[in-house]
Amino acid sequence: MRRDLARQFLYDMLLARRFELRAAEEYAQGNIAGFLHLYPGEEAVAVGSLRAADPGDYVVSTYREHVHALVRGTPLGSVMAELFGRTGGCSGGYGGSMHLFDVERRFLGGYAIVGETFPVAAGVGYWLAMNGEPDVVLCYFGDGAVNQGTFHETLNMVALWDLPVVFLCENNHYQIGTEVHRHSAVSHVHRRTGGYGIEAHWVDGMDVRAVHEATRDALRHVREGNGPVLLECETYRYRGHSMADPAAYRSALEVNELRARDPLLTFREWAEGEGWVSATESAELDQAAERAVEEAVAFAAESPPPRDLHAGVHVRPLDLYGGRP
């Protein structure tokens, strides 16, 4: 492990944690509305995997995607402003929490229908393969998504046509409030790809280093033309499915057990123990993350709300009764 990478992992996870906790506060204060699905507990997956990707790779994410966008490099302020529904948001305030997009960083959403990510990733992969491009698509999804038809339909197509896609399952144990063993006949997602001949591995999704290493290998495998790969990153979300969910369906014992393996704390402990980061540096990184989130909130609060219902982005012609272009 390199020192700069260790610091990067630590900073990314601190930033992600602080960003999401702050989003929850802003939601409570009424500055963020609608559905808000937060990521605490799952940070190692986004950080470990996205730090293994190249800038040319595409990222297709889900409705729990703030941290994917942040780690990908989307400015913090534009993510927060999107949650606020403001013009400074990465979707101009028209998308909100579940519809973040950042074309410049090849970050393609942001989908609020579970399972939609699969065909989109296949489509980007199709385009890359058709044109002989070296880039790969990283496709994120939760354990709840694997029972959608699109999962199986897409696995079939990407395997059939050998499309450059790495599937990253964030198995956080819950499909909203239904635990994985109650929604899937086979709750080990990586065992469900065998029928399609797709290479798949289980990864400890609470360990940022393990996720990073597995993703690096998967990306190499795909770039070398060996076909798609699926990684099941087993992780845990500390909070409910969304802000509207108090998560009463699980015990405090269970949550506390998993919290003991907190990806952020265990990595910090390890990194400090190995001498990659000093305790002082950890504290400095945390303060820097706190400042960055503070600035993001200030930016969002100052950003004006969008005013134009049509905004010139609606499909033309606007006049449904015969307006001629």
Partner 1 sequence: MSQWKKGNDQAGLLAPARPAERLQVWEALNIAHDRVLAEDDAVFVMGEDVGLFGGSYRVTQGLYAKYGAWRVRDTPISENSFTGLGVGAALVGGRPVIELMTVNFALLAMDAIINMAAKMRYMSGGALRVPLVVRTPGGVARQLAAQHSQRLEHLFMNVPGLRVATPATPQDAYWQLRQAVRDDDPILLLEHELLYFREGAFDPEAEAPPMHAARVRREGGHFTLIAYSRMVEVALEAAEELAAEGIEAEVIDLRSLRPIDLVTLQDSVTKTHRALVVEEDCRFGGAGAEIAAALNERSFFELEAPVARVAGADVPTPYNGALEAASIPRPGDVAEAVREWMVG
Sign for the pseudo-dihedral over CA of 181, 184, 188, 191? positive
Q: Does 32 bind partner 1 (CB under 8 A)?
A: no
Least distance in angstroms from the C-beta of 172 to partner 1: 23
Residue 14 in contact with residue 71, Cβ under 8 Å? no
Euclidean distance between CA atoms 26 and 2, whole angstroms: 36
- Residues between 241 and 280 that touch partner 1 (CB under 8 A): none
- Please classify residue 2 by burial: count the beta carbons closer than 10 Å to its beta carbon, then call 0-12 exposed, 13-18 middle and 19+ buried: exposed
Residue 145 in contact with residue 114, Cβ under 8 Å? yes
The answer for 85, left when phi > 0, alpha when psi is -120 to 50, beta otherwise, is: left
Stretches 48-56, 100-108, 210-218, 228-236: which one binds partner 1 (CB under 8 A)? 100-108
Q: Does 291 bind partner 1 (CB under 8 A)?
A: no
Least distance in angstroms from the C-beta of 186 to partner 1: 21
Least distance in angstroms from the C-beta of 89 to partner 1: 7
Binds partner 1 by CB under 8 A, chosen from 28, 113, 244, 265: 113
Sign for the pseudo-dihedral over CA of 13, 16, 18, 20? negative
- Residues between 35 and 94 that touch partner 1 (CB under 8 A): 58, 60, 89-94
Residue type, 50: L
Stretches 213-221, 255-263, 295-303, 306-314: which one binds partner 1 (CB under 8 A)? 306-314
Least distance in angstroms from the C-beta of 182 to partner 1: 25
Interface pattern 211-230 for partner 1 (x via CB under 8 A): --------------------
Q: Does 313 bind partner 1 (CB under 8 A)?
A: yes
Stretches 47-55, 103-111, 167-175, 249-257: which one binds partner 1 (CB under 8 A)? 103-111
- Residues between 12 and 31 that touch partner 1 (CB under 8 A): none
Residue 59 in contact with residue 75, Cβ under 8 Å? no
- Helix runs in 73-136, H state only: 76-84, 117-130
Q: Does 198 bind partner 1 (CB under 8 A)?
A: no
Tokens in use for 284?
Answer: 């400095």
Tokens in use for 193?
Answer: 């790809």
Q: State which residue, 60 or 231, has the beta carbon closest to partner 1.
A: 60
Q: Does 293 bind partner 1 (CB under 8 A)?
A: no
Euclidean distance between CA atoms 319 and 85, whole angstroms: 26
Question: What contacts 293, CB < 8 A, 6 or more positions away?
Answer: 15, 18, 19, 22, 76, 80
Euclidean distance between CA atoms 186 and 194, whole angstroms: 12
Least distance in angstroms from the C-beta of 305 to partner 1: 13
Residue 224 in contact with residue 192, Cβ under 8 Å? no
- How many residues touch partner 1 under the rule CB under 8 A: the total is 55
- Residues between 130 and 169 that touch partner 1 (CB under 8 A): 130, 149-150, 153-154, 156-157, 160-161
Least distance in angstroms from the C-beta of 75 to partner 1: 14
Phi, psi of 13 (to 5 degrees): -70, -40
Binds partner 1 by CB under 8 A, chosen from 9, 19, 126, 174: 126
Question: Interface with partner 1 by CB under 8 A: which residues?
Answer: 58, 60, 89-95, 99, 101-103, 108-111, 113, 116, 118-130, 149-150, 153-154, 156-157, 160-161, 306, 311-317, 319-325
